[in-house]
């Protein structure tokens, strides 16, 4: 099986063959012969010539191909794709839109406490835009860059979910 | 001896108090909100009573619901833990009026010490040194502007009713005052039901050191030494230790005596903490406030003195004498505690609620983990995101750090972000290891960290490849096998349960 | 400082040693048999090498395979733990010849102390009192008959190479001698590869008390006080404490001095334990044997003295001086350990291998659990069934018992039987609480228990009804829901994996 | 739903109705109104008028209707049956057979080390019959009563599974 992984912006080619507890793998030209045990759902104990790697794979909720892998104390966030399968676009939510606008995205579920600006306001990077409360902490969401507030999708007292776009700055 | 105690709290502190109850063969009674129906503190209790909806103002902060529960259960006493109603004098009064023992000081002592402005007055009268600041809540923004200008910036805004960093804001210059003032008032209102804030001159490079005191109803009042709590983010402690790396017996003695003076001034009973700012250069100390309750960081004092503070609270509440005198108290070794929060350290410590999919809690020599969650638990958006307090003891500070580092590496929490990666870096930080602590530590640490990030990048290619291979194995597993699908179905069920919890009372 | 240490062991002790390695920033290397491919000690190691099939004679007892692994890994030292090769002098020699440091005493000291008969000779020569018995292995059954008749029954048969109760049999009268002799020989052969057994006069109502000693390569030899290990079943310790409930400083001093004498007689280096029988009435003590290794019960000494014995072993092995003198050693509070076994206490402590389906490990103040398993782990039929050592510390024995009782109640292990219910009864037993301990404790306890069983029967009707309702809910859940079926499919997979493991090398 | 449970030799009738997190139950005439949460597969958190019961239900391998329920520190072993469903006989393995004979059953997987008697031997209760080794411990299986050894199904060195009948005494 061949897969492509995107990690830290770089693409890696992974080839894999598994026979029971043996795995032969090539990552970007490096070859490995490993023993593997699945210790529980999503947890893979890999041993590479004596070196032990306990890997725990977690899918992030919305996107099934985007996974986080915990190895020892490190976490790797990556996206897998199977070149053999046809796939649609990535559809990235949040961050910078394709048109150069910047979006303010709710990082967690919570409640809007205050909206500090109005649509049309000119703001500077670092200016407070919206205050969100979760777990008793109020967090001021700041403008990621200079610009003009073009949209506000949040009202005081409203409940928001992680990933909701709260405001757009152009 | 009490037969039953109701714990008016949740999470790790409720679990901690239940353990002390069990030690004393006292039956623990829980209260819970709708978000906590299957929380660990409910599962470990003998009895549990639903007291309202998920938001704490509709449950854990509702005095009448807690009183109803205690009367229904037949418990003879209430332990308030910390946070919620722990420093609410009206609650202590309501408990007393219901004929129930409140495990804590008198409402009068809470009134005097509960408001920081009144506490300052008490300290000044008792001859305990204080930081320059207002003794009254600010009346208006104009009052705040005037006072700040008078002390000179930087100044600190603090909630009169507060604690735990909530409603607290450092203001560097006049520009930031209005927003900080409003946010602090609004946070204070949300957290404590009281919007009053006051102003203090901000002391630069201060150490935050506090003294644990304990008093009984027979006139004994003893201090259990200090805790260094200088490592704070957003004015909230994240790492605490006992003793302070300063470890100066004469300073401990002077601060301990001052703390006992403050406690005696309000006829204090039970466990309390007197907080001081200590100048790292002059070793002068200033009274900040007194917390009339157990502290989050009580385990480090327990590990070093061997005294079980919660057990002692319960014994004192039923009229026992303190089980130790000042001379009995010995400080042995060194203990450090990390507050493990469900927060994302890579994203400005944003809360990271969600389902805990995996949990490996460290153990072994010198390690104590006081947790409030289990695997599959849901960390809710409604409450403080602390999931556990991890403490390490060693014969000296170096050994305690060795063990803490090991335990942090062993700790694994899946499904949510935690502050564990952040602590793993701190215990390897040279300034931390050297004990050069003050409240600016985290800011400086973050600067060092940003500088070091590049070097780590290329770290371990093989380990990264293993992560990729594990991900690929997982991907291929999911393509086939009914068993794998079964696991997925199970996860979906959890996820749905999680979403339902997030929707709250729906 | 060593960079890498190979741990020639498995289970909880391998995990314990790895933690000490991590504390010292030493990389731990595991070895494992085919039955332990995903054992906790493998998962927590940096490196792990397969050394053979499931039966320990084909893996953990194979000196050459362990040496191969240590050479391949590049580790500079081997820690043998306890059991397996820990007291095998040939192993210590082979390690030394391979140019690797053996973390333990010299092969010569092991030779002298490893055979109980030779150890007796050493003790006698050093002036340490011993129990009457043979100093040579029995040559034949006739020899056994003659010697037993000479001492008078009851007598004790013991494996010359032994430890841990294996190959040990109490013989009450001449009738039982032949069967006991043959079983002891056969067990000794199976466990230690050496069928030799010897005879001792059995001392009645003795206390089993041992002294922890520690020596470095610079001529320092210090004792760390006693451990009371009188609570035994099948001559194997199940509960140990420090200090002994006798807690008599002068007795500790005399026994400590005798233990140091014995250790010095063989130029001992590292951690060792000198076992004594103590007469409860006269307080006379008799040398039994010396264990030239770490003991299972080392945590109680660590909790009371604050000294990390494994860390100290590693430091001493690389030539460091002991980090403490005799005068530095302080005994503070009281600690009690329970050995949690995968055994069925209601069925004569039969081993109960299988898959651990649920695991809740207790925590909180004063509790230390040194475990070797995780949830979903398979407890194999091939090895000692101990899954964890649970220890509690308190300021005094009563507080330690309070905490132990709480922790035992909190502990939950699903899927296999454990000795937890047995311990829960012991910590509530009046004789135990009063500290009236001797090696006959469990027999008397079982009699009291049989008498009390009737009373408990009607215990809590509501609780029993809840069990029935839960079972009925589960039954109805299983009738429907694809999710429930999914869980079943998952379980079947585990069960199949479990069966495969039981079949061993298939 | 109505079920019959056998616990400690006594039969109990259980009636059950569940609506989401509420359960109405009658056990042998005693009525309960409970709240229930399934905290993980097989774990039921029941609250009965404030009293908390965390119950964990485990099926014993072979018999799906025989379950163990752990509540606090107690374990209840019981067998459930649905009177509405037709069921076969219980088929009890081990212990005393219907014909008055006594069987010696392997209590765990292990290896036969020694067989101490021969077929036809007269034995007394408590006499050693077979020695089984597991987890490095040798356990002597003793005759449960006086009688004559009628069958031996075990040979030295053989591997046995839990529940295997090793010998019969008549």
Map out the domains of chain B as residue ranges.
4-103, 105-128+205-332, 132-201, 341-439, 451-500
Cα nearest neighbour of D51 on chain B: B47
- Is B105-128+205-332's fold the same as B132-201's? no
Scanning C94-153 for CB atoms below 8 A from D yields: none
Q: What string of DSSP letters covers chain A?
A: -EEEEEETTEEEEEEEEEETTEEEEEETTEEEEEEEEEEETTEEEEEETTEEEEEEEEE-SS-TTEEEEEETTEEEEEEEE-TTS--------SSB-TTS-EEEE-SSSEEEEEE---TT-EE-TT-EEEEEEETTEEEEEE-SSSEEEEEE---TT-EE-TT-EEEEE-
Q: How far is CA C193 from the centre of its chain?
A: 19
Is residue A62 one of the residues assigned to a domain? yes
CB contact under 8 A, A5 and B471: yes
Angle at B46 between CA B42 and CA B48, to 5 degrees: 45
Decide: B and A in contact? Rule: 3+ Cβ pairs under 8 Å: yes
Report pTM.
Answer: 0.83
CB neighbours (10 Å) of residue D55? Answer: 25
CB contact under 8 A, C395 and B366: no
Is the predicted pLDDT of residue A88 greater than 60, yes or no? Answer: no
From chain D, pick out residues whose CB is under 8 angstroms from the CB of B38. 37, 39, 45
Cα nearest neighbour of B407 on chain C: C19
From chain B, pick out residues whose CB is under 8 angstroms from the CB of C361. 361, 363
Q: How far apart are CA C83 and CA C56, in angstroms?
A: 11
Positive or negative, the Cα torsion across B449, B451, B452, B454?
Answer: positive
CATH 3.40.50.20 fits B4-103, yes or no: yes
Min Cα separation B29/chain A (Å)? 25
Is residue D131 one of the residues assigned to a domain? yes
Say which of C23, C361, C375 has its CB closest to residue B402.
Answer: C23
Question: Whose CA is closest to D105, among D132, D77, D67, D78?
Answer: D132
Cα nearest neighbour of B166 on chain A: A137
Q: How far apart are CA C506 and CA C500, in angstroms?
A: 7
Determine the pLDDT at residue A48.
95
Determine the pLDDT at residue A5.
92
CB neighbours (10 Å) of residue C434? Answer: 9
- Beta bridge pairs of residue C64: none
CB neighbours (10 Å) of residue B391? Answer: 28
CB contact under 8 A, B23 and C307: no
- Comparing D100 with C44, the larger pLDDT belongs to C44
DSSP annotation of B20 reads H
Q: How far apart are CA C374 and CA C15, in angstroms?
A: 12
DSSP annotation of B320 reads P
Domain enclosing residue A52, as ranges: 2-81
CATH topology of domain B105-128+205-332: D-amino Acid Aminotransferase; Chain A, domain 1 (3.30.470)
- CATH at residue A26: 3.30.700.30
Give the position of tokens 């790396």: B245
> Do residues D7 and D76 share a domain?
yes
From chain C, pick out residues whose CB is under 8 angstroms from the CB of A47. 42, 48
From chain A, pick out residues whose CB is under 8 angstroms from the CB of C48. 47, 50, 52
- CATH at residue D100: 2.40.50.100
Rounded mean pLDDT of chain B? 90
The answer to whether the beta carbons of residues C232 and C238 sit under 8 Å apart is yes
Min Cα separation A53/chain C (Å)? 8
Tens-place pLDDT, residues B437-446: 988 899 899 8
The answer to whether the beta carbons of residues C174 and C148 sit under 8 Å apart is yes
Min Cα separation C371/chain B (Å)? 8
Cα nearest neighbour of C309 on chain B: B365
Q: Which two tokens stand for residue C295?
A: 């003991």
SS3 category, C341: strand
Say which of C37, C49, C73 has its CB closest to residue A37.
Answer: C37
Strand order in the sheet with A110-115: A137-142, A128-134, A110-115, A159-160
The answer to whether the beta carbons of residues C171 and C157 sit under 8 Å apart is yes
First to last CA, chain B: 42
Q: Which two tokens stand for residue D104?
A: 């010696």
| pLDDT tens, residue order, chain B (506 aa) | 999 999 999 999 999 999 999 999 999 999 999 999 999 999 999 999 999 999 999 999 999 999 999 999 999 999 999 999 999 999 999 999 999 999 999 999 999 998 877 998 999 999 999 987 876 789 899 999 999 998 888 898 988 886 666 778 889 889 999 999 998 888 888 888 888 998 988 876 789 999 999 999 999 999 999 999 999 988 889 999 999 999 899 999 999 999 999 999 999 999 999 999 998 878 889 999 999 999 999 999 999 999 999 999 999 999 999 999 999 999 999 999 999 999 998 888 888 999 999 999 999 999 999 999 998 899 999 999 999 999 999 999 999 999 999 999 999 999 999 999 999 999 999 999 999 998 889 989 988 888 776 555 446 889 999 999 999 999 888 776 443 333 333 333 433 333 333 333 33
Would you place residue C161 in the very low, low, confident or very high pLDDT band (cuts 50, 70, 90)? confident
From chain D, pick out residues whose CB is under 8 angstroms from the CB of B47. 50-52
SS3 category, B314: helix
From chain B, pick out residues whose CB is under 8 angstroms from the CB of C409. 22
SS3 category, D131: strand
Average pLDDT on C451-476 reads 80
Is the predicted pLDDT of residue C497 greater than 60, yes or no? Answer: no
CB contact under 8 A, D50 and B47: yes
CB contact under 8 A, B474 and A57: yes
Min Cα separation B487/chain C (Å)? 7
Residue B493 has φ and ψ, to the nearest 5°, of -60, -45
Of the residues A81, A113, A143, which one is the last residue of a structural domain?
Answer: A81
From chain D, pick out residues whose CB is under 8 angstroms from the CB of C187. 138
> Do residues D8 and D75 share a domain?
yes
> Do residues A10 and A74 share a domain?
yes
Say which of D40, D50, D52 has its CB closest to residue B72.
Answer: D50
CB neighbours (10 Å) of residue C503? Answer: 12
Q: Which CATH class is domain B341-439?
A: alpha beta
Q: Which two tokens stand for residue B100?
A: 């129930």
Q: How far apart are CA D90 and CA D69, in angstroms?
A: 20
Min Cα separation A68/chain C (Å)? 19
* Dihedral angle, C-alpha D106, D111, D117, D119, nearest 10 °: 70
Decide: D and A in contact? Rule: 3+ Cβ pairs under 8 Å: no
Q: Which of D35, D128, D136 to mutate to test the interface with C (most CBs of C within 10 A)?
A: D136
Strand order in the sheet with C285-291: C285-291, C270-279, C206-215, C221-233, C236-242, C334-341, C386-394, C367-371
CATH 3.30.1490.20 fits C132-201, yes or no: yes
Which chains pack against C, by 3+ Cβ pairs within 8 A? A, B, D
> Do residues D9 and D77 share a domain?
yes
Q: Which position among B120, B233, B293, B403 bears the catalytic label? A: B293
The answer to whether the beta carbons of residues D56 and C358 sit under 8 Å apart is yes
Q: How far apart are CA A105 and CA A96, in angstroms?
A: 10
Confidence check on the interface: ipTM exceeds 0.85, yes or no:
no
Q: Which residues of D119-133 are buried (b: 16+ CB within 10 A; e: fewer)?
A: eeeebeeebbbbbbb
Say which of D28, D67, D108 has its CB closest to residue C351.
Answer: D108
Determine the pLDDT at residue C238.
93
Say which of C19, C332, C365 has its CB closest to residue B308.
Answer: C365
Q: How far is CA A127 from the centre of its chain?
A: 25
Is the predicted pLDDT of residue D137 greater than 90, yes or no? Answer: no
Domain count, chain A: 2
Q: Chains B and D: how many Cβ contacts under 8 Å?
A: 31
Positive or negative, the Cα torsion across B46, B48, B54, B56?
Answer: negative
Q: Which two tokens stand for residue A39?
A: 């210790």
Q: How far apart are CA C60 and CA C47, in angstroms?
A: 16
Residue C159 half-sphere exposure toward CB, CA atoms < 13 A: 24
CB contact under 8 A, B487 and A70: no
> Do residues D95 and D148 share a domain?
yes
Q: Which position among C293, C339, C355, C403 bears the catalytic label? A: C293
Is residue A35 one of the residues assigned to a domain? yes
> Do residues D54 and D102 share a domain?
no
Which helix (H) or strand (E) segment holds residue B69: the answer is helix B63-73
Q: How far apart are CA B248 and CA B225, in angstroms?
A: 11
Is residue A86 one of the residues assigned to a domain? no
Is residue D31 one of the residues assigned to a domain? yes
Q: Chains C and D: how many Cβ contacts under 8 Å?
A: 154
Q: Which of D73, D104, D161, D163 to mutate to test the interface with C (most CBs of C within 10 A)?
A: D73
Of the residues A50, A81, A112, which one is the last residue of a structural domain?
Answer: A81
Q: What string of DSSP letters covers C163-228?
A: BTTBT-EEE-SGGGHHHHHHHHHHHHHHHHS---EEEEEPPSSEEEEEEEEEE-TTS-EEEEEEEE
Which residue spans within B93-220 are E strands per DSSP? Answer: 101-102, 155-159, 169-171, 197-201, 206-215
CB contact under 8 A, D74 and C467: yes
Pairing of strands A159-160, A128-134: unpaired
DSSP annotation of B2 reads -
CB contact under 8 A, D16 and C470: no
Q: Among this protein's residues, is B293 annotated catalytic?
A: yes
Question: Whose CA is closest to C20, among C343, C263, C214, C309?
Answer: C309
Enumerate residues 6+ apart whose C-beta is below 8 A from C470.
D44, D46, D53, D55, D56, D57, D69, D71
Burial label for B186, CB within 10 Å (0-12, 13-18, 19+), is middle
Is the predicted pLDDT of residue D51 greater than 90, yes or no? Answer: yes
Is residue D86 one of the residues assigned to a domain? no
Q: How far is CA B266 from the centre of its chain?
A: 24
Q: How far apart are CA B118 and CA B456, in angstroms?
A: 50
Residue B97 has φ and ψ, to the nearest 5°, of -65, -30
Q: How far apart are CA B166 and CA B158, in angstroms?
A: 8
3-state percent helix, strand, coil for chain B, nearest multiple of 5 = 40, 25, 35
> Do residues D103 and D58 share a domain?
no
Q: How far apart are CA C150 and CA B202, in angstroms?
A: 87
Would you place residue C505 in the very low, low, confident or very high pLDDT band (cuts 50, 70, 90)? very low
Would you place residue C133 in the very low, low, confident or very high pLDDT band (cuts 50, 70, 90)? confident
CB contact under 8 A, A39 and C48: no
From chain B, pick out residues whose CB is under 8 angstroms from the CB of C368. 363-365, 367
> Do residues A55 and A27 share a domain?
yes
- Comparing A29 with C263, the larger pLDDT belongs to C263
CB neighbours (10 Å) of residue B178? Answer: 13
Tens-place pLDDT, residues C222-241: 999 999 999 998 888 999 99
Considering only CB atoms, which residues of chain D are within 8 Å of chain B?
21, 35, 37, 39-41, 45, 47, 50-52, 54
Rg (CA), chain C: 23
First to last CA, chain A: 44
Scanning C152-181 for CB atoms below 8 A from D yields: 166, 179
Pairing of strands C236-242, C221-233: antiparallel
> Do residues A126 and A60 share a domain?
no
Rg (CA), chain D: 21
Is residue D23 one of the residues assigned to a domain? yes
CB contact under 8 A, A113 and B381: no
Q: What's the full length of chain B, in residues?
A: 506
> Do residues D118 and D74 share a domain?
no
Q: Tell me, yes or no, if B465 comes closer than 8 A to chain D by beta carbon.
A: no
From chain D, pick out residues whose CB is under 8 angstroms from the CB of B376. 39-40
CB contact under 8 A, A45 and C38: yes
Min Cα separation B120/chain C (Å)? 34
CB contact under 8 A, A52 and C37: no
Is residue A99 one of the residues assigned to a domain? yes
Q: How far apart are CA B240 and CA D145, in angstroms?
A: 65
Q: Tell me, yes or no, if C414 comes closer than 8 A to chain B by beta carbon.
A: no
CB contact under 8 A, A47 and C45: no
Min Cα separation C321/chain B (Å)? 17
Of the residues A17, A51, A81, which one is the last residue of a structural domain?
Answer: A81
Would you place residue C202 in the very low, low, confident or very high pLDDT band (cuts 50, 70, 90)? confident
Q: How far apart are CA B24 and CA B21, in angstroms?
A: 5
Give the position of tokens 């070895």: C31
Average pLDDT on C167-174 reads 87
């Amino acid at each position: 099986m061949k897969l492509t992984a995107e990690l830290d912006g770089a693409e890696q080619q992974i080839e894999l063959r598994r026979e029971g507890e043996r795995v032969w793998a090539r990552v970007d030209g490096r070859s490995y012969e490993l023993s593997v045990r699945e210790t529980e759902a999503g947890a893979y104990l890999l041993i590479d010539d004596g070196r032990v790697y306990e890997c725990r794979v977690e899918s992030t909720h919305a996107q099934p191909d985007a996974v986080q892998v915990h190895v020892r104390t490190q976490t790797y966030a990556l996206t897998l794709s199977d070149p053999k399968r046809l796939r649609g676009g990535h559809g990235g939510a949040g961050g910078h839109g394709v048109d150069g606008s910047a979006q303010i995205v709710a990082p967690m579920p919570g409640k809007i406490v205050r909206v500090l600006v109005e649509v049309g306001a000119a703001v500077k990077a670092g200016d407070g835009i919206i205050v969100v409360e979760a777990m008793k902490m109020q967090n001021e969401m700041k403008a990621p860059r200079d610009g003009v507030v073009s949209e506000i999708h949040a009202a005081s007292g409203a409940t928001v979910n992680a990933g909701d776009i709260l405001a757009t700055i152009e | 001896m009490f037969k039953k105690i109701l714990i008016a709290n949740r999470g790790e502190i409720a679990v901690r108090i239940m353990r002390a109850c069990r030690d004393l063969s006292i039956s623990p009674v829980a209260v819970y909100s709708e978000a906590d129906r299957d929380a660990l503190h409910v599962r470990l209790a003998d009895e549990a009573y639903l007291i309202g909806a998920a938001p704490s103002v509709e449950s854990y902060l509702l005095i009448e619901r807690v009183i109803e529960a205690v009367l229904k259960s037949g418990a003879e006493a209430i332990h308030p833990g910390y946070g919620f109603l722990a420093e609410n004098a009206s609650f202590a009064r309501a408990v007393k009026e219901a004929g129930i023992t409140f495990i804590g000081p008198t409402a009068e002592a809470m009134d005097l010490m509960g408001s920081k402005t009144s506490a300052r007055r008490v300290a000044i009268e008792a001859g305990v040194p204080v930081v320059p600041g207002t003794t009254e809540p600010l009346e208006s923004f104009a009052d705040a502007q005037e006072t700040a200008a008078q002390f000179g910036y930087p100044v600190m805004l603090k909630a009169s009713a507060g604690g735990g960093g909530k409603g607290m804001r450092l203001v560097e210059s006049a520009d930031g005052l209005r927003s900080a003032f409003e946010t602090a008032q609004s946070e204070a209102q949300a957290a404590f039901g009281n919007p009053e804030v006051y102003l203090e001159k901000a002391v630069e490079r201060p150490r935050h050191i506090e003294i644990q005191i304990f008093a009984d109803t027979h006139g004994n009042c003893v201090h259990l030494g200090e805790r260094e709590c200088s490592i704070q983010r957003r004015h909230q402690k994240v790492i605490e230790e006992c003793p302070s790396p300063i470890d100066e017996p004469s300073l401990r003695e002077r601060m301990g005596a001052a703390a006992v003076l403050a406690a005696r001034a309000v006829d204090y009973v039970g466990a309390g903490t007197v907080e001081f700012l200590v100048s790292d250069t002059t070793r002068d100390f200033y009274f900040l406030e007194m917390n009339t309750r157990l502290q989050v960081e009580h385990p480090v004092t327990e590990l070093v003195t061997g005294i079980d503070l919660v057990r002692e609270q319960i014994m004192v509440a039923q009229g026992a004498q303190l089980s130790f005198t000042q001379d009995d108290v010995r400080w042995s070794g060194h203990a450090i505690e990390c507050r493990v929060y469900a927060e994302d350290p890579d994203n400005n410590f944003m809360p990271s609620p969600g389902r805990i999919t995996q949990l490996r809690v460290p153990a072994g020599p010198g390690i104590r983990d006081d947790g409030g969650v289990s695997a599959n638990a849901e960390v809710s958006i409604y409450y403080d995101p602390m999931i556990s307090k991890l403490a390490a003891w060693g014969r000296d500070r170096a050994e305690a750090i060795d063990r803490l580092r090991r335990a942090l590496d062993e700790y694994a929490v899946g499904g949510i972000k935690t502050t564990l990666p952040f602590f793993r870096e701190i215990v390897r930080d040279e300034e931390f290891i050297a004990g050069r602590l003050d409240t600016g530590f985290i800011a400086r640490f973050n600067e060092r960290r940003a500088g070091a990030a590049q070097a780590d990048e290329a770290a371990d290619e093989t380990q990264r490849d293993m992560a990729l291979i594990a991900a690929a194995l997982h991907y291929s597993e999911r393509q086939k096998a009914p068993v794998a699908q079964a696991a997925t179905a199970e996860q979906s069920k959890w996820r749905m349960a999680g979403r339902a919890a997030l929707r709250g009372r729906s």
